[in-house]
Amino acid sequence: MSPIRMEKIESSMRIVLEFNEAFNRHDVPGMMRLMSDDCVFENTDPAPDGMLYSGREAVTQFWQDFFKESPQANIKIEEIFGFGNRCIMRWRYTWVDATGVEGHVRGIDIFQVKEGLISEKLSYVKG
């Protein structure tokens, strides 16, 4: 693999890793700094197809509401790899519900990175 192509893959993975760190801090402005103005986020809920959010305003509002509903949300990366402008991250998402019960699901995110920003985040969960 050429050094230029490898640099692009590594850059995409670094952006996704930085995004996940901001997620775990519940830092919505930090997350959105890494997303393009025309970003697309496909959530895992509601089943079976999830919900699509398009554009910076809609995605920002989703994350703000999400962290209000799930103040202990955390994603642990199990595996991450990239190719071209795509990055795949396998994860374990944990939370604590309103009654204090802990829960988790596992899944993957498929990211697309363009010009140094995440333009697409498609999320899938094991059912």
DSSP one-letter code for 69: H
Contacts (Cβ under 8 Å, ≥6 apart) of 108: 88, 89, 90, 91, 123, 124
pLDDT of 118 over the 70 cut: yes
What pairing do the DSSP bridges indicate for beta strands 86-96 and 74-83?
antiparallel
Q: Model confidence over 39-74: pLDDT tens digits? A: 999 999 999 999 999 999 999 999 999 999 999 999
CATH code of the domain covering residue 30:
3.10.450.50
Domain count, the chain: 1
- Domain hosting 112: range is 3-125
Predicted structure pTM score = 0.91
Measured between its terminal Cα atoms, the distance across the chain in Å is: 36
Place of tokens 């790899």: 81
Other CB atoms within 10 Å distance of the CB of residue 39: 22
